[in-house]
Amino acid sequence: MPEQTDHWSADRYETNARFVSDLGAGVLAWLNPQAGERILDLGCGDGALTVRLSEAGAEVIGTDFSADMVAGATALGIDARVADGHALNFEHEFDAVFSNAALHWMTRPDEVIAGVARALKPGGRFVAEFGGQGNVAAIRVALSSVIERLTGEKDAPGRIWYFPSCAEHSARLEAAGFTVDRIVLIPRPTPIPSDMAGWLDTLAAPVLGSVPEALRAQVRDEVVELLRPALCDAAGNWTADYMRIRFEARLA
């Protein structure tokens, strides 16, 4: 796996990707945070949903790999910390672990799940939503094709993103001692508020970051043109082909 690098910008995320947290209401409802609970928000980003947990009366800690995102969350008054989701160091202290639109960036999922299991109290719940099998399929194929042609590297997105099926992710959770109460795959074609170039610069930044700097703009621009017939309408409006996986699991 390539060395992790912080490609995230809180300002760029606010401009091009605020819809990601705005669409988190469904998974937040599954969590149903209660007053007095201690909750870990894994991959909290700039804290837009973490604040909602606090407003419900929960005691919340947020973690994210990006220092810039953590700074944004801290500015909202959140106890947010820079941490690698593959190496959580909490020990049986949370009633719940919550995550929205973050787990697909953690490409060693068994390490993540093991860390969540350590962080939870017995009977604690793990509720999350992230990219599932088929997520941004057209975008991923276009990125893979252009990057392979220009650099020779095969399936660069596959080393950056983890998009499992329900069966695959359920098996990983169960192997770590969780009971999966519910898990679904949710098709979610999502309008992009800016354009595909802005989406790629923001939400595919780690993929573009794996390409030599001199080629990044060319990769982005060629991918945009490949995707235009499929994901852009006649008025110039772009839609991303999202597929989300949402689950609730409970530690034995």
What pLDDT is recorded for position 20? 53
What pLDDT is recorded for position 13? 46
Are residues 227 and 197 in contact, defined by beta-carbon separation less than 8 angstroms? Answer: no
**Full-model pTM:** 0.89
Q: What's the average pLDDT block by block, 10 residues per block, for the chain (252 residues)?
A: 45 46 80 97 93 95 94 95 97 97 96 98 97 97 97 93 97 98 96 93 92 97 98 97 97 92
Which CATH class name applies to 10-136+161-192+238-251?
alpha beta
Are residues 241 and 136 in contact, defined by beta-carbon separation less than 8 angstroms? Answer: yes
Residue whose tokens read 């390409």? 211
Supply the DSSP string of 185-217, one letter for each residue: EEEEEEE-SS-HHHHHHHHTHHHHHTS-HHHHH
- Report the run of H or E that residue 155 belongs to, with start and end: none
Instruction: Kindly list the domain boundaries of the chain, sorted by start residue.
Output: 10-136+161-192+238-251
What pLDDT is recorded for position 19? 47
Residues composing the chain? 252
Sheet holding 79-82, edge to edge: 79-82, 59-64, 38-42, 94-100, 120-131, 239-251, 178-191
Residues in CB range of 103: below 8 A, 6 or more apart: 42, 43, 85, 109, 112, 128, 130, 162
CB atoms < 10 A from the CB of 86, how many? Answer: 17
Largest Cα separation within the chain, whole Å, is: 54
What pLDDT is recorded for position 252? 87
Distance of alpha carbon 25 from the chain centroid: 15
What pLDDT is recorded for position 22? 60
CB atoms < 10 A from the CB of 157, how many? Answer: 19
